[in-house]
Amino acid sequence: MVRGRMHGIARYALELARRLPALAPDLTFMGLVAPEGLPRDLGALTPSIPLRCARAGFLAPVLEQPMLLADLLELAPDIFHATSFSLPGLWNGRLVATLHDANHLALPENYSPIHSLYYRLIVGPRGKRASALLTVSEFSRDELARHLGLTPYRLQVIAPGVDERYQPPAPSEARDFIQRHRLPERYLAAVGNPKAHKNLGLLAKLAPRLSMPIVLLAGKGAAKELGFPDSTVELAELPEEEMPLFYGAAEALLLPSRYEGFGLPALEAMAAGCPVVASNVSALPEVTGEAALLVPPEDPQAWAEAVLRLLRDDRLRKSLVEKGRERASRYTWDDCARRTLAVYRRVLEKPRSGR
């Protein structure tokens, strides 16, 4: 799943790949990546472990499952960790699977029928036979259990983390970032993609009522597709190393999503000293706690009032920045990696299944 624009599932896989070998020098790690290999602009996230290009990509018609079986039979791992919902339905070795959310089942209207079918024919049955099932939040655990017919206790929650690079930038760093990308001196940040559950269309309706422009990072053409006004500044892409600056230079991050299995951008923004206004549904309240302003995702008036309140109230802004940084500090990739390694070691103690 590490391909194209960086997203939460890709970051999860890359952060584990670069941290686990140092935590377990007695184990040997190898990464199975897409047929085309990894993107070239990963920077510090580029894994140092050996990589093997898979014979077929995720959801490749007819080929994915038999080719994944061939890859795993050749590699013969003691454990295969599927870091997303691409599970090996035909391979019966020790499997650790991380299922980040159930949105393909909870929001079938946002996906093609093949995605829902894949979950029901591959993910559900193979997940039930996995040596260990992981997910990223209590919300996702309950959703996956409900949609896949599992007991919630079958899934262990191990939250993602925030990279230590996410820190409040110095004023000079923020100014340089703004000038380099020709951004407004003061702006509101929004991230995501045009999918309906990200709900960025709400911000498009809200933008004309706000006192400063939105800078949208949602892929090329997203602003026009979603109906944002001309005052919106669109960033099609940003290098990974500049994401802390993008958040840290903003007046706030607006995250109106209707459905999030976790909501990593909220934590990353808070770590960078950026206050967050987020939806009060799915995993976002669990992740942000009292460190964000939480608003119903279908109420534009409430969103306008929350954003304007934040921009006018310096005391509120300072409080959210302080609470946000403290909240984000509880989530580290090192802790995620250590807890995941403990799962590996527990699984290694179990007898291997027949192939």
Q: What does the domain layout of the chain look like in residue ranges?
A: 8-161+333-348, 171-328
Query: Which class does domain 171-328 fall in?
Result: alpha beta
Backbone φ and ψ for 32, nearest 5 degrees, come out as: -100, 115
- Give residue-wise pLDDT tens across range 242-283: 999 999 999 999 999 999 999 999 999 999 999 999 999 999
Mean pLDDT check: name the lowest of 98-112, 158-172, 182-196, 266-280: 98-112
Amino acid at 155: L
- The count of C-alpha atoms lying within 13 angstroms of the C-alpha of 281, restricted to the half-sphere facing its C-beta, is 13
Give the mean pLDDT of 280-295. 97
Give the mean pLDDT of 120-148. 94
What are 349's two structure tokens? 């103690």
Residue count of the chain? 355
Q: How many CB atoms lie within 10 A of CB 196?
A: 12
Question: The tokens 């993910």 sit on which residue?
Answer: 123
What are 287's two structure tokens? 């992740």
pLDDT, position 101: 93
**What CATH architecture does domain 8-161+333-348 belong to?**
3-Layer(aba) Sandwich (3.40)
Alpha carbon 291 to chain centroid distance? Answer: 19
Position 353 confidence tier, pLDDT thresholds 50, 70, 90: low
pLDDT, position 354: 45
What is the spatial distance between Cα 118 and Cα 86, in angstroms, rounded to a whole number? 9
Q: What is the DSSP string of 166-210?
A: --PPPHHHHHHHHHHTT--SS-EEEE--S-GGG-HHHHHHHGGGS
What are 321's two structure tokens? 């920045």
pLDDT, position 41: 80
What are 280's two structure tokens? 């009060």
What is the SS3 assignment for 25? coil
Q: Under a CB-based contact definition with an 8 Å cutoff, are residues 14 and 2 in contact?
A: yes
Alpha carbon 273 to chain centroid distance? Answer: 19
Rg (CA), the chain: 21
Q: What's the whole-number average pLDDT of the chain? A: 94
pLDDT, position 116: 81
Fold: same for 8-161+333-348 and 171-328: yes
Position 355 confidence tier, pLDDT thresholds 50, 70, 90: very low
What is the spatial distance between Cα 308 and Cα 108, in angstroms, rounded to a whole number? 34
Is residue 120 predicted with pLDDT exceeding 50?
A: yes
As a whole-number percent, the residues of the chain with pLDDT over 90 amount to 82
